[in-house]
Amino acid sequence: MKNERSADILKRIIVLAIGCQVVLTIFIYLFTKRLIYSIILFSAAIISIAGFLLMIKSIDRIFKRGKGQGLFFLAELLKMALIAAVFYPVSRVSETAVLIYILGLSLIVISIMIEGLFQLLRGFASDRA
């Protein structure tokens, strides 16, 4: 198995997350028949994906330049504040809305796990060839 650049893997994770976001948004609308749930999932997934991109960019900056730890801390603190600020009105909608919001936030984790499974299966396939 040849080495892949980490940038290619990160791009694939983001594309996978966006694909899952679109599919789940449509599925939730078809399943619940409520547009607000689809909007909640979509916004939570955007927060999750944007937070992941911001984290990757900040960590790269810290490792390459040795600077930016304070900026990283501030960015992560603002990200948590945004998640909490969006969570409050979502929690007023319904309990189902809270579960959908959490699903949207965990979408990037699901995408990372799918990419890991893909890499694992690809590693097994290349070992057998």
Write the pLDDT tens digit of every residue in 67-126: 778 888 888 899 999 999 999 999 999 999 999 999 999 999 999 999 999 999 988 887
Write down the H helix ranges in 66-106.
Answer: 69-93, 95-105
Distance (Å, whole) CA 27 – CA 113: 21
Pull the structure tokens for residue 83: 């998640």
pLDDT of residue 1 exceeding 50, the answer is: no
**71 Cβ neighbours under 8 A, 6+ residues apart:** 58, 61
- The answer to whether the CB of 78 falls within 8 A of the CB of 72 is no
Task: Give residue for tokens 């057998």.
Answer: 128
- The answer to whether the CB of 28 falls within 8 A of the CB of 127 is no
pLDDT of residue 23 exceeding 90, the answer is: yes
